[in-house]
A and B are shown apart, each in its own frame.
Chain A
């Protein structure tokens, strides 16, 4: 595997379900991100991790819970979601948090909440 991978690619869940999204980066990067992408809206930054520590949480509801067990893996745990949470969830990584280097994105998980 190369680059940034995400599983599952598609997910349908009810509002009472609990599920997790997984992201893995094979680039040796130290920073990882979760974004939400909805139609006609800019990418919304949700969480930032650097060297396994959360450095940013952009006022994301508590029904989204991130976990970063090591610098290569990032999870997003989901519970009691709402239909408006349906979106494409993108994981990204970058060498550091310097802001001068690009972020590399995974293919995303398309989430539908019924």
Chain B
């Protein structure tokens, strides 16, 4: 069964303290892995798509990487405005187009 697990559930960082969020997955053939940011009371906002192991994508302080079993979202020198819930979703070859979401990591960056 396709599954997505995100860790940690919650993370508190001091401003400038770099860290990583994890998204581990078990799917039969990965079609794509997606990272989203969700602010309270809003819908998820697209960040990155990764398609194959070894791929990396970068945007400002965020960098997403992908292996055959997991993806990391690295946050370098975070700022308070990076506080949000980060969601990971995967699409497998088996299910065609259905997105399987993790429960997210709630990130708080303290000034």
Contacts and interface: CB of A to CB of B under 8 A. Distances in A.
Q: Do A and B come from one complex?
A: yes
Most buried by B among A31, A45, A92, A103: A103
Given A42-B4, A108-B43, A100 B101 contact: no
Contact of B43 (A56, A100, A101, A106): A106
Interface residues of A, number: 25
Contacts of A42: 4, 100-103
A99 interface: yes
Interface in B31-49: 31-32, 34, 36, 41-46, 49
Contacts, number: 59
Nearest to A10: B41
Nearest to B34: A102
Contacts of A31: 97
Given A97-B96, A100-B91, A90 B41 contact: no
A42 B91 CA distance: 14
A4 interface: yes
B97 to A, nearest CB: 4
B42 A108 contact: yes
B4 to A, nearest CB: 7
A98 B49 contact: no
B88 to A, nearest CB: 10
B98 interface: yes
Interface string A16-42: 000000000000000100000000111
Interface string A43-87: 101001000000010000000000000000000000000000000
Interface of A: 4, 6, 31, 40-43, 45, 48, 56, 90, 92, 97-108, 110
22 contacts: A4-B43, A6-B43, A41-B103, A42-B101, A42-B103, A43-B44, A43-B89, A45-B99, A48-B98, A90-B44, A97-B97, A99-B31, A99-B32, A99-B96, A100-B31, A100-B49, A104-B46, A105-B45, A107-B41, A107-B42, A107-B43, A110-B41
